[in-house]
Amino acid sequence: MDNEDVKKAHELDCQIQNLLLKATEAREFSYSPYSNFKVGAALLCQDDSIYTGCNVENSSFTVGTCAERCAYFKAISEGKRKFKAIAIVAMQKKWFTPPCGACRQLMSEFGQLDVYMTKPRHDDVLVSDLKRLLPYQFEVTDDKTFE
């Protein structure tokens, strides 16, 4: 990521600033007794509705889920399929926390969107999009033949 990808939060659109706040609120519901690494996500749908999620851990580590997938699953279970943006807020003070590979792949299933990642204080926001975070992603087509 380049320095020009980092924006000041107060310079972003009000809708995106709100999305970052919703992700921060969702982070507080994190169930992360093993890592103590709380993550919150807020997903902006095409119709401007917002679905939030937090990471949920389990003592059987692979059973847990990330905040991004939690938000997506909530939205999808309510019939949403088109998304504009996602905001991700974690606990790291020095680094931005991007979505993991599994989250990136799930997100790509539902099309491109903007990705906003910020640190706990919201000073700086790393702005990207799914195509940059997951180049060469699987193509989703309606074609059911594999030629």
Enumerate the active-site residues: 68
Q: What are phi and psi of 20, to 5 degrees?
A: -65, -40
Instruction: List the structure tokens of 142.
Output: 């309606």
The radius of gyration of the chain from alpha carbons, rounded to an integer in Å, stands at: 15
Q: How far is CA 57 from the centre of its chain?
A: 17
CB under 8 A, 24+ apart: contacts of 18-22 = 18/50, 19/44, 19/50, 19/85, 19/86, 19/87, 19/116, 20/87, 20/89, 20/116, 20/118, 20/122, 20/125, 21/122, 22/50, 22/52, 22/87
Instruction: List the structure tokens of 3.
Output: 């320095």
Annotated binding site: 66, 100, 103
Annotated binding site for Zn(2+): 66, 100, 103
